[in-house]
Structure 1
Amino acid sequence: MATFKLVTPTWVSQNLNDETLVLIDARSPADYWRGHIAGARNFDPALLSIVRTDPASLTRFQAVLAWALSALGLTAESHVVIIGAQNDAPSAKTAWAFAYAGIQHISLLDGGLAAWPGEHVTTAASWPATPFVLTPQSEYLATAQDVLAATQQNRAVLDARSREEFDGVRSNAGRKGRIPEAKFWDNSLELNGDGQYAGTHGVTSQAQQIGITPQDNPIVYCGGGGRAARTFVALQLAGQQTAVYPASWLEWGTDPQYPIQSPSA
């Protein structure tokens, strides 16, 4: 199981010489080369796109992830600090994917690069590649079949899309609606007015209001996995175990074999 924590710019500055610490800039390569924290290694979250969760698709996803973590020079024991533009979906999805791959120590720079007061550089550091051995943490990833089973076994499913998507007003897939009995999750409560993670109170209060207990392991989904990943991070920081359905509504809302709760329900 991975451990998740938030770190400040001051903490990062004070620990830059720690050889076990690896800064991961989870923005696009174009943004990375416009300026980043010295020594940060770039990981493009676009590599994490997954639109189906059948065995063949998961095998490809795992292969790409293992290749990327090897190229980044990571091991399961690396302490990664993930840096987004802000506390955004790409950085959260990176944190989720690294935890799924078996990395044990994951921190996020709270507020992302927008909170960094220091210099931005445009030169990359060099590092040796490593043969990263992926150890999939199945408790962090739910497939469509897992979600289908959850709907039949009274396991909580959280919908981290907008209210309009939840209510079936709009959709990024062929059908409108939601996964049967899914609970609406207001992801605006994950951040405070300064764009930092809001802490445990807002998250745990919302979880309690919709009937999620610390003993539950809900599955969270959104349109394509990004917003669900940030909900995953927020819940993990609050001590709530969670699984992400990464293909989310892109898969469920497109494939007629999966039942939906109609907009009128």
Structure 2
Amino acid sequence: MPILITAEELAARLSSGELTVVLDVRWSLAEPDGTEAYRAGHVPGAVYVDLDAELADHDLAGQGRHPLPTEGAFTSAMRRWGLRDGDVVVVMDDLGNQSSARAWWLLRHAGVADVRMLDGGLAAWREAGHPLDTGDVVPEPGDATAHFGGMPVVDIDEAAAFPATGVLLDARGAPRYRGEVEPIDPRAGHIPGARSAPSGENLDADGRFKSAEELREHFAGVGVTGGVPVAAYCGSGVTAAHEVAALAIAGIGAALYPGSWSQWSNDETRPVATGVSPVE
């Protein structure tokens, strides 16, 4: 199944009446609630998705800032969005898919076969001259059911052991990886053995994903070659999903460590590395 859809392709699907569920996942650390931005202008028919409330389970202690939701909770969210079995789903944001990739990953994990990210996000839609709607979209409830297991996952112990046999990628910005700054979590640095591959480097200057060939070259530069096992983490498991998506575009399968640095750094028994090399 394709991973990306262009603004032109999405507009053609919507205008032809092809059943397409569009999910608007606007979120950022600075503006975690994207409701007002969504209401001010969104792709026609798009349903707003609350990343913090619907793509995470904050009742789980010790699992990081964005633990994965339960199957039951995610089923309820999918049905609120109007999803039915067999639907084509398009996810989007205004952040180069850095937040909507979390929805892409969870939907794939839940067994939804055809999930695509709007390449370039809302900016690409606007630049192509397509219209925006305002206000809220409240669809008829769907009947889809989440069945987790569609995407590989590693836990904290598996993440610790991963560099011994594979490549563990850190999708945060390089200064956080090196331990020079840490604006959120209690300790600065990275998981020993992890390699720095900031998720922002998956995108071109226009906020679109680089080509499959460019991404393969990029990941080869951090050791992802020859069928080596790959896993990714970030601060709290959100932009790591973007890394998994970029790897998938490059034709490389990868596991997600959902707890990510927010779980690791809060566990004082876990060692921390700093500097530019994987272990220091």
TM-score above 0.5, yes or no: yes
123-132 or 32-41, larger mean C-alpha shift: 123-132
Q: Quote the residue 1:91 is aligned against.
A: 100
The answer on whether the counterparts of 2:102 and 2:238 sit within 8 Å (CA) in structure 1 is: yes
1:256 paired to 2:268: yes
The answer on whether the counterparts of 1:22 and 1:78 sit within 8 Å (CA) in structure 2 is: yes
Residues 1:40 and 1:259: Cα distance change in structure 2 (over 3 Å): same
Aligned pair partner of 1:142 in 146, 154, 172: 154
1:162 paired to 2:161: no
Amino acid of the structure 2 residue aligned with 1:128: E
Q: Quote the residue 1:44 is aligned against.
A: 50
Aligned pair partner of 1:34 in 26, 40, 53: 40
**Cα distance, 1:123 vs. partner?**
4.1
The answer on whether the counterparts of 2:97 and 2:119 sit within 8 Å (CA) in structure 1 is: no
Percent of aligned positions that are identical: 26
What is the TM-score normalised by the length of structure 2?
0.83
* Structure with the bigger percentage of helix: 1
After superposition, residues 90-239 of structure 1 pair within 5 angstroms as: 90-116=99-125, 117-137=129-149, 139-151=151-163, 153-171=164-182, 172-213=184-225, 215-239=227-251
User: Considering only aligned residues, what root-mean-square deviation do their CA atoms show, in Å?
Assistant: 2.3
* 1-structure distance, mates of 2:57, 2:261: 11
Q: Quote the residue 2:20 is aligned against.
A: 21
The answer on whether the counterparts of 1:53 and 1:143 sit within 8 Å (CA) in structure 2 is: no
Q: Give the secondary-structure state (helix, strand or coil) at the position aligned to 2:99.
A: helix
Q: Quote the residue 1:71 is aligned against.
A: 80
**Cα distance, 1:4 vs. partner?**
4.0
**Cα distance, 1:106 vs. partner?**
1.1
Residues 1:45 and 1:232: Cα distance change in structure 2 (over 3 Å): same
The answer on whether the counterparts of 2:177 and 2:274 sit within 8 Å (CA) in structure 1 is: no
Q: 1:72-118 CA distances to partner (integer Å, 9 max, x unpaired)?
A: 12134211011211413211112112111211111111111111122
The answer on whether the counterparts of 1:99 and 1:106 sit within 8 Å (CA) in structure 2 is: yes
The number of residues matched between the two structures is 259
The answer on whether the counterparts of 1:214 and 1:240 sit within 8 Å (CA) in structure 2 is: no
* 2-structure distance, mates of 1:229, 1:207: 15
Q: 1:174-209 CA distances to partner (integer Å, 9 max, x unpaired)?
A: 222211111111433311111111112332112212
1:6 paired to 2:14: no
Task: Point out where structure 1 has 5 or more consecutive residues left out of the alignment.
Answer: none
* 2-structure distance, mates of 1:37, 1:64: 26
* 1-structure distance, mates of 2:256, 2:119: 21
What is the TM-score normalised by the length of structure 1?
0.88
Q: Quote the residue 1:62 is aligned against.
A: 71
84-93 or 32-41, larger mean C-alpha shift: 84-93
The answer on whether the counterparts of 2:48 and 2:137 sit within 8 Å (CA) in structure 1 is: no
Amino acid of the structure 1 residue aligned with 2:39: W
Task: Point out where structure 2 has 5 or more consecutive residues left out of the alignment.
Answer: 27-33
Q: Quote the residue 2:31 is aligned against.
A: none
* 1-structure distance, mates of 2:5, 2:119: 6
**Cα distance, 1:149 vs. partner?**
3.5
Residues 1:163 and 1:191: Cα distance change in structure 2 (over 3 Å): same
